[in-house]
Chain A
Amino acid sequence: MIALLPAVTAVAYFASALAVLRRRRAADARRAAVRHCALISAIGAAVTALSTERFVPANGMEMIPILMNLSALVAVALAPLATHQPATLARMLSIAACSQLCLATTAPGLIAVAWTVSAYIAWTELADHPEMRLASRVFAVFHTASSGFLISGAAALAAGLDVTGGTLALIGIGIRAAVLPGHSWFVPFCEVAPIGLMVVFVAPQLGIFAYFATAVGAVPHGVEALFVAAVAVTAIAAAGLGLVQVAARRAAAFVVIGQTALVVLGAASGSAVARAGALVTWQTLILAISGFAMAIAAAEARRGYLTLHDRGGGLAATPRLAMAVLLFGLACVGFPLTLGFAGEDLLIQGARFPDLAIIPVVVTAANGITVLRWFLHLFSGAPGDVGVRDLRAGEVAALTIAMALLLITGVAPRLVVSGIDPSSHSKSPHAGGLHAARAASGSSTGR
């Protein structure tokens, strides 16, 4: 079945990409991209509000297309002109289109194709710049593997080989989600890629959707346990590594890896409550990562590459930018008053106690320290740069929408949580054989 809204949205994004590519000046291209994204977001929100199941993904994922639209809007609205030429903006819109295409279907083959195309487009951006050669090589190695596994898995699922297909798909998903040992592409990518492109590629967290569509309930216990262990180690290692980073982008990358791993952990842990937590946290991270990363991009555009040694007094000169970095950063780590708090609560309460439940607690604690450390270092100090301007009106508007959603749903999480059926997503549409065998034997992976 095709969810019409994401499918139509994908076509709109591709058309927008073509229109943006024709612009010569980066400013014109960005202006056009912002207008298109705003229009797509508005229409998408209106259709979702009025829609039936035919138009949007179901079972708690109704908001995902809208959130991805907002993520793209934030990314293009805050994209620094110096590093986001028309070609880069066009690639961003194309990647957004591929993300919507993934959501439009639960057919593993189509998901795999959209997945591969989005990775290819991101790689072309890296390959176009000689100074990004190293990152592009690593990216190519890992995403070729990821796409290869996912395509093979899709083929196996289509042939009725649930276990083989689910396992192959799971490996491919793990690489894209930066699960150890498939994580090595992520940090170099975040370090060198234009941040807007990084956001549209990473923030949608397509691995979660792909997991629910292909692998959940389709892999044997042993494989699942191994995967959960790898994700758990990834989360803890990333949280620790984030604490010792000196470069802002690297620190942000490790925070994203850690929080993404928690979402994957919740999805894979087998418990209905944890899966619901994964869905809620996924939705939070789409917006929070977008806002956090693009606020850092805005700071970088004004002050250059950011490290711990830079104390440019941004709090006095750019207070709204500082507030954006802090709020979105805290939203990433499940701070109260944001939707992430409800998501973290569900992840922790639904996890197997004590081993898996302790992991989200420790990881969010460490990531919270990283976020505040970076906020205080980036924005403290006597005002140095005269004439550094705070957020533009367009930047404020885009961030306001994203932040408002995070805060409103943070105060009223029921708006998001009530749409989640706890019994859903326990198995993918293609995991019939193994799931039935488990049900017949009475064994279960979760509560």
Chain B
Amino acid sequence: MTAQQLLVIAMVALPAAAIPAVALPAWFGIRADERRINAIVAAAFGGATIAGLLLVGGMIASDSHRVVVAMGNWFEVGPHHFPWILIADRLSIPFALFSALLVGIIGAFSRRYMHRERGYRRFYLLLTVFGAGAQVVVLAGTLDILFFGWEVVGVASALLIAFFHERPNPIAHGLRAFATYRVCDVGLLIGAVWLHRSTGSGGMVVPGPAEAGWAGVGGSLGVLEATSIGLLLLWAAIGKSAQLPLGGWLPRAMEGPTPSSAIFYGAISVHLGAYLLLRAAPLLDQAPVAALAVTLIGAATALHATFVGRVQSDIKSALAYASMTQVGLIFVEIGLGFRILPLAHIVGHAAVRSLQILRSPSLLHDHHQLEQAMGRQLPKTGGHLERLVPTALQPWLYRHALERGYFDAMLTDYAVHYLFRGLRALDGADQAWTALISTAARPARNASPTRPQEAP
């Protein structure tokens, strides 16, 4: 194994190794020491960052475009095998490096922000789990490994949204985010299985040594197959990147601690959907319908979010919709066939948005300082929309924005409500059938829980 390959492994292994280092003392009841926890996380992600920088330096020096680390089969049965492959190329390196750096910075920032907060160790454990998962997603050389990291990121994200569990809203919003992820992850997994059936593996197609492009999902697929798989991956990306019509979880996700909001919904997690689509670029090139869908979804989301963001009354919600807008634009860029532009957009957006979200608790203080320095009120911004949108349309648009485009209401009142109503009816019927078998009276409905017969 070469030094560069070892560095790629280190970018994943160091954050992964920090997980048991933080979790095991918690399990065995060892008292949490903030300094020690912080040191572990800093060392892990600092080490991953340094490994990334050394890797970049090495690749530049050796003029290589990618490093592929094939670590053999994780397991195999008959014709099926699960290879563990990591790829560091022009797509994954900026992402991985930026992720490791940002998690390290957030870890350092949180040392004071979360100081003496109940759940300090839980916060850092979830941050570490998220960071490790993100590294796996970004450096994955197959869709199966990408799914592995994708799931880890999803759970960590949901648990951090629900961090302040004393209140009911964070719980509800964390569940909403997780449910959205799980529903959309179905697309990623089915797409991965389909790819296996069509190409014989879930691995990414790695360009030749002389080619500058990055590895991607694709291969020799028919148009219909490529379109179907592309749409499935788009469905997965919609959930993770909070695009229409399933973006309602993002502003609600701001219930979590500000540092995690910054890194998840400003920087890393919210861009993973776009990352998946960039990896699926060869597929989108073969499937114009899927590419068009990416473009339309992105454009609709950007329009929706830019209007809804303007009626938010709290800064974190406004920034959430601003993130949604930018990610929508990134989707448009990907759908239109750009590759380097969306990558640059992601990195720039992630940096700016993280900073904005980290500063958001100080927004009022910052405004006061600015106004005192200027000696007057800050000038109003964003007036270009008022000039563009006809006056007659503005009240309607305002109400539409206040209701967040009615997407949340439609999802809750129609899709979820009727589904749950049907399931409760089925549950009632099942309980009635069981009671009939036991020749007892019909039980009460499940909505009013009654304790069943219990052992003494």
Binding site for B on A (CB under 8 A): 82-83, 88, 129, 131-135, 137-138, 141, 184, 187-188, 191-194, 237, 240-241, 243-247, 249-250, 272-273, 276-277, 305, 307-309, 311, 313, 315-316, 319-320, 323, 330, 335-337, 341-342, 345-346, 348-350, 353-354, 357-358, 361-362, 365-366, 368-369, 372-373, 376-377, 379-382, 390, 396, 400, 413-414, 417-418, 420, 422-423, 447
A-B contact pairs, 30 of them (CB 8 A): A129-B453, A131-B455, A131-B456, A132-B455, A135-B453, A137-B437, A138-B434, A241-B430, A244-B420, A244-B424, A247-B452, A273-B77, A273-B80, A276-B78, A316-B118, A319-B26, A336-B148, A342-B74, A342-B82, A348-B193, A349-B80, A353-B197, A354-B194, A357-B193, A361-B189, A368-B178, A369-B182, A413-B74, A417-B77, A422-B78
Select the residue from B73, B118, B454 with max chain A CB neighbours within 10 A: B454
CB-CB under 8 A from B76, the residues of chain A are 417
- Please report whether the interface of chain A is mostly helix, strand, loop or mixed according to DSSP: helix
The answer to whether residues A349 and B456 also contact, given A330-B155, A420-B77 and a CB cut-off of 8 A, is no
CB-CB under 8 A from B423, the residues of chain A are 240-241, 243-244
Q: Contact between B426 and A134 (Cβ–Cβ < 8 Å)?
A: no
Q: Contact between A194 and B455 (Cβ–Cβ < 8 Å)?
A: yes
Q: What is the CB-to-nearest-CB distance from B183 to chain A, in angstroms, rounded to a whole number?
A: 7
B447 at the interface (CB under 8 A from A): yes
Q: Contact between A137 and B165 (Cβ–Cβ < 8 Å)?
A: no
**Given the complex of chains A and B, what is the CA–CA distance between A132 and B284 in angstroms?**
59
Q: Contact between B430 and A366 (Cβ–Cβ < 8 Å)?
A: no
Across the A-B interface, give the 5 residue pairs with the lowest CB-CB distance, nearest first.
A422-B78, A380-B165, A131-B453, A417-B75, A276-B77
CB-CB under 8 A from B438, the residues of chain A are 134-135, 137-138, 141, 188
The answer to whether residues A336 and B174 also contact, given A191-B452, A193-B455, A354-B190 and a CB cut-off of 8 A, is no
- Residue ID in chain B nearest A320 by CB atoms: B27
**Given the complex of chains A and B, what is the CA–CA distance between A305 and B449 in angstroms?**
11
Q: What is the CB-to-nearest-CB distance from B415 to chain A, in angstroms, rounded to a whole number?
A: 13
Q: Contact between A400 and B27 (Cβ–Cβ < 8 Å)?
A: yes
Q: Contact between B447 and A246 (Cβ–Cβ < 8 Å)?
A: yes
Q: What is the CB-to-nearest-CB distance from A413 to chain B, in angstroms, rounded to a whole number?
A: 5
Q: Contact between A413 and B75 (Cβ–Cβ < 8 Å)?
A: yes
Having A193-B455, A353-B197, one finds 13 other A-B pairs with CB under 8 Å, namely: A83-B454, A135-B452, A141-B438, A188-B452, A246-B449, A249-B452, A313-B166, A323-B26, A335-B155, A337-B152, A361-B189, A368-B182, A396-B29
CB-CB under 8 A from B285, the residues of chain A are none
**Given the complex of chains A and B, what is the CA–CA distance between A377 and B452 in angstroms?**
20
The answer to whether residues A192 and B453 also contact, given A241-B423, A245-B427 and a CB cut-off of 8 A, is yes
**Given the complex of chains A and B, what is the CA–CA distance between A172 and B430 in angstroms?**
21
Q: Contact between A247 and B196 (Cβ–Cβ < 8 Å)?
A: no
Q: Contact between B420 and A346 (Cβ–Cβ < 8 Å)?
A: no
B179 at the interface (CB under 8 A from A): yes
The answer to whether residues A381 and B166 also contact, given A350-B80, A365-B183 and a CB cut-off of 8 A, is yes
Residue in contact with A272 in the complex, picked from B78, B152, B162, B197, CB distance below 8 Å: B78
CB-CB under 8 A from A357, the residues of chain B are 190, 193
**Given the complex of chains A and B, what is the CA–CA distance between A368 and B175 in angstroms?**
11
CB-CB under 8 A from A336, the residues of chain B are 148-149, 151-152
Q: Contact between A418 and B455 (Cβ–Cβ < 8 Å)?
A: no
Residue in contact with A341 in the complex, picked from B26, B148, B456, CB distance below 8 Å: B148
Q: What is the CB-to-nearest-CB distance from A267 to chain B, in angstroms, rounded to a whole number?
A: 14
Mark out the residues of chain B between 150 and 195 whose CB falls within 8 Å of any chain A CB in the assembled complex: 151-152, 155, 158, 162, 165-166, 168, 171, 174-175, 178-179, 182-183, 185-186, 189-190, 193-194
Q: What is the CB-to-nearest-CB distance from A261 to chain B, in angstroms, rounded to a whole number?
A: 15
Q: Contact between A372 and B158 (Cβ–Cβ < 8 Å)?
A: yes
CB-CB under 8 A from A184, the residues of chain B are 430, 433-434, 437
Q: Contact between B155 and A372 (Cβ–Cβ < 8 Å)?
A: yes
Mark out the residues of chain B between 64 and 82 whose CB falls within 8 Å of any chain A CB in the assembled complex: 73-80, 82
CB-CB under 8 A from A345, the residues of chain B are 82, 144
Q: Contact between A369 and B75 (Cβ–Cβ < 8 Å)?
A: no
Q: What is the CB-to-nearest-CB distance from B360 to chain A, in angstroms, rounded to a whole number?
A: 25
B440 at the interface (CB under 8 A from A): yes
CB-CB under 8 A from A348, the residues of chain B are 189, 193
CB-CB under 8 A from B434, the residues of chain A are 138, 184, 187-188
Q: Contact between B175 and A372 (Cβ–Cβ < 8 Å)?
A: yes
B446 at the interface (CB under 8 A from A): yes
**Given the complex of chains A and B, what is the CA–CA distance between A133 and B439 in angstroms?**
11
The answer to whether residues A237 and B426 also contact, given A191-B452, A417-B76, A422-B77 and a CB cut-off of 8 A, is yes
Q: What is the CB-to-nearest-CB distance from B436 to chain A, in angstroms, rounded to a whole number?
A: 9
Q: Contact between B454 and A323 (Cβ–Cβ < 8 Å)?
A: no
- Residue ID in chain A nearest B82 by CB atoms: A345
B451 at the interface (CB under 8 A from A): yes
Q: Contact between A379 and B430 (Cβ–Cβ < 8 Å)?
A: no
For B215-241 the 0/1 string (1 means CB < 8 A from A) is 000000000000000000000000000
- Residue ID in chain A nearest B29 by CB atoms: A320
CB-CB under 8 A from A83, the residues of chain B are 454-456
Q: What is the CB-to-nearest-CB distance from B335 to chain A, in angstroms, rounded to a whole number?
A: 26
